[in-house]
Amino acid sequence: MKNNRTANKVIMCLFMAILFFSFFSNPVLSQEKKVRVIAEKANIHLRPDKRSTIIETVDKGTILTLRQTRRVKKLWDYVYFTSEKTGISKSGYILDSLVERLFGGFKAVTLDEGKDKSILHFRQAFWGVNKEHVLKLEGKPSSQEFMDGLEIVGYQQKVAGMTCKIEYIFKEDKLIRAKYVFLEQRKYKNQYIADYKKAKDFITKNSELSSVDNINWLNSLYKEDYSKWGLAISLGHLEYASLWSTPETDIMLKLYGENNKILIEVEYSGKKFKDVEQ
């Protein structure tokens, strides 16, 4: 009897070991597969049926994670995501025609061997990677341009709950800088200060670093009236800046104005490439 129990335990351990290694050796299961919404608005349903309950409506550029790569009823993708409204993880079904897949076949985009994912320089990329690597990570860009010897590859997505242009900046096919340019248009100028704080919280959370902050008055006309600080920013009277630094990356968040417009930008710079643009 004792020998039977021992044998059963050995068989169970072997079964679990085989199951474990088969799971993690399978690239489909061990790698997250992402899709990006390409429609202006897209509904995520509770079931793979247009008549079923809509659990979330997402904007163009939203990134979703596939729960399975095989389509449901040949038309639907089963996805999960974190709700921008509630911060709660949800899952549901979205029409495959409304998204583009950010991977090809079963080929997974992996990190460079020996690289620690915890020190990624910008999103899922490291400084010095080529454009092809970024295209595999992010998919087809929404814009590409050349300027002063630099190639700028752009995407439009939601970042920190705000519409944002993401720019990857290459010099001689090496990633040297990157930017978030927030595109939200607000009715009241002081709302941009709240957006700046949201962007700052996003960076602090992702970098796990504290920032060095600066509020700079170039003209103190509205300094004593907080209700007009947004106006002051739009006139170029007031600027906000926050800085973060890691051994390989400098990060600068800026809130500033020009021509009665307000801009919020974050620039990530690879320290070892700072002299490349000179």
| CATH (domain of 96) | 2.30.30.40
Alpha helix stretches (DSSP H) within 100-228: 131-138, 191-207
Owning domain of residue 140:
117-273
| 41 in the same domain as 84 | yes
Overall domain count for the chain: 2
Q: Which two tokens stand for residue 192?
A: 């941009």
Residue 21's pLDDT band, with cuts at 50, 70 and 90, is very low
Q: Could you tell me if 219 and 226 are in contact, meaning their C-beta atoms sit under 8 angstroms apart?
A: no
Alpha helix stretches (DSSP H) within 120-244: 131-138, 191-207, 229-234
| 234 in the same domain as 185 | yes
Q: Tell me the per-residue pLDDT of 152-183, one tens digit each, with 9 for 90 and over.
A: 999 999 999 899 999 999 999 999 999 999 99
Q: Could you tell me if 144 and 226 are in contact, meaning their C-beta atoms sit under 8 angstroms apart?
A: no
Q: How far is it, in rounded angstroms, from Cα 223 to Cα 171? A: 41
Using the 8-state DSSP alphabet, how is residue 129 labeled? Answer: -
Q: How far is it, in rounded angstroms, from Cα 97 to Cα 80? A: 17
- Percent of the chain at pLDDT above 90? 53
Strands of the chain, DSSP E = 34-37, 41-45, 54-59, 63-66, 76-82, 89-95, 99-101, 143-147, 150-159, 162-171, 174-182, 212-217, 238-245, 249-258, 261-270
pLDDT of amino acid 22: 42
Last residue of a domain, one of 70, 101, 132: 101
Q: What is the mean pLDDT of residues 81-91?
A: 80
Confidence check: pLDDT of 278 > 70? no
45 in a domain, yes or no? yes
157 in a domain, yes or no? yes
| 124 in the same domain as 238 | yes
Q: Tell me the per-residue pLDDT of 198-256, one tens digit each, with 9 for 90 and over.
A: 999 999 888 878 889 999 999 999 999 999 999 999 999 999 999 999 889 999 999 99
| 129 in the same domain as 75 | no
Q: Could you tell me if 172 and 165 are in contact, meaning their C-beta atoms sit under 8 angstroms apart?
A: no
pLDDT of amino acid 13: 55
| 268 in the same domain as 181 | yes
Average pLDDT along the chain: 83
Q: How far is CA 115 from CA 45, 168, 250, 272, in A?
A: 38, 20, 19, 17
pLDDT of amino acid 107: 35
Alpha helix stretches (DSSP H) within 208-241: 229-234
| 188 in the same domain as 80 | no
79 in a domain, yes or no? yes
Q: How far is it, in rounded angstroms, from Cα 151 to Cα 147? A: 6
Q: How far is CA 64 from CA 17, 70, 95, 216, in A?
A: 31, 15, 12, 39
Q: How far is it, in rounded angstroms, from Cα 193 to Cα 149? A: 34
Alpha helix stretches (DSSP H) within the chain: 2-25, 27-30, 131-138, 191-207, 229-234
Q: Which two tokens stand for residue 25?
A: 């050796």
Q: How far is it, in rounded angstroms, from Cα 206 to Cα 120? A: 10
Using the 8-state DSSP alphabet, how is residue 17 labeled? Answer: H
Select from 62, 65, 67, 2 the least CA-distant residue to 34.
65
| 67 in the same domain as 194 | no
Q: Could you tell me if 219 and 232 are in contact, meaning their C-beta atoms sit under 8 angstroms apart?
A: yes
| 159 in the same domain as 41 | no
